[in-house]
Amino acid sequence: MPDALMPAATWLLEVNNLSCGYGGDSVVKDVNFALSHGDIGCLLGPSGCGKSTILRALAGFLPLNAGEIQLQSQAISLPGRTLAPEKRRIGMVFQDYALFPHLSIAENVGFGLNALKKAERRQKVMELLNLVHLQDLADSYPHELSGGQQQRVALARALAPEPTLILLDEPFSNLDTDLRRRLSLDVRDILKTLGISAILVTHDQQEAFAMCDQVAVLKDGRLQQWDVPYNLYHEPANRFVASFVGQGGFIPGTALGPDTIDSELGVLHGNRAYKWQPGTLLDVLIRPDDIIYDADSSLKPKVVEKTFAGTSTLYRFRCSEDTEFEALFRSHLDFHMGEYVPVRVEADHLIAFERV
């Protein structure tokens, strides 16, 4: 739920108890989140979790079974009442670009600006093409552009009517890894420059964290956590978020106190107090960046797997049949399969859950 202490006027978008789906069935249930003016939010989760369903509801393509969507304090969706998509001042950037092949790039961008005089429309179009660094391609056609360039055109077209909110439906998924990383940061810079809020749908965590201010993690149509990327990684609300976000794995442990755990990696001290009773059996999340190489450590697990990645190497270590974990070291520390490596745990944010 939006923070009750925050004045409602500061929210651009509010989603309250949203439930919607297809054929009368609710794919998404009881979803709540709010987005501030100028922020970029993200709907993140595995396939089939309800990301695109929520986006369709925000766009006005899908009616609500329950709940409410507000934009600038105006209800735009309620059960039985849905403001038409074209009246929402919401822009949409699709996965497949959806450009008109028979129109030039300038004509594509200016498609929704027919109310302007020809000279004003041309000036607006060129300003937007300059913003997305395509001003020299105004008279070209979509088939003459690369995928990244076509996506920039789609963004410029969505920005042309000066929307209050932009919806981005996996807009970079058709691009190669390097291009999608660069383009996602470019799009973020453009939106931030214009002060336009956006909601991105993606399954790519790196993309979500690099581009967005707030991220919603979804599972089976329910919101698990709406938070800043840092908190999703270091302070996950539940076991699913802990497992889904970032890398890492669970090792067995036993509670010694509210913030202290005994494990095969030693006694671990947390940064927060839990409500465990001493002796409670736990699963402790160990991230690759929680493990530090320490030549003086008596803890020496065995290397059972390694993945070289240029500047770093990801190792999988084994202490016993029940205790395996990963560590990310700079690649100059080159250990071999079967080697016993001295390490220690330095987990500033200790994450654990009762064993089930």
Contacts of 156 (CB under 8 A, 6+ apart): 109, 125, 128, 129, 131, 132, 134
Q: Is 176 helix (H, G, I), strand (E, B) or coil?
A: coil
Region 21-33: mean pLDDT is 93
- Choose one of 207, 223, 240: the last residue of a domain: 240
pLDDT of residue 345 exceeding 90: yes
Is 189 inside any structural domain?
yes
Q: Is 253 helix (H, G, I), strand (E, B) or coil?
A: strand
Q: Is 8 helix (H, G, I), strand (E, B) or coil?
A: helix
pLDDT of residue 263 exceeding 60: yes
**155/95 same-domain check:** yes
Is 3 inside any structural domain?
no
Band the pLDDT of 178: cuts 50, 70, 90. Answer: confident
| CA neighbor of 142 nearest in space, from 131, 124, 157, 127 | 157
**97/191 same-domain check:** yes
Q: Which two tokens stand for residue 81?
A: 């009442």
Task: Tell me the angle at which helices 118-131 and 177-194 cross, rounded to the nearest 10 degrees.
Answer: 130
Which pLDDT does position 88 carry in this prediction?
95
**56/183 same-domain check:** yes
Domains in the chain: how many in total?
A: 2
Which pLDDT does position 126 carry in this prediction?
95
Which pLDDT does position 310 carry in this prediction?
93
Which pLDDT does position 271 carry in this prediction?
82
Which pLDDT does position 173 carry in this prediction?
87
Is 37 inside any structural domain?
yes
Band the pLDDT of 135: cuts 50, 70, 90. Answer: very high
Query: Residue 36 corresponds to which amino acid?
Result: S
Q: What is the CATH number of the domain that holds 285?
A: 2.40.50.140
Region 107-120: mean pLDDT is 90
pLDDT of residue 205 exceeding 70: yes
**Pair 149, 156: CB distance under 8 Å:** no
Domain residues for the domain of 232 are 13-240
Band the pLDDT of 196: cuts 50, 70, 90. Answer: very high
What would the pLDDT profile of 45-104 be if each residue is shown by its tens digit? 999 999 999 999 999 999 999 999 999 999 999 999 999 999 999 999 988 888 999 999
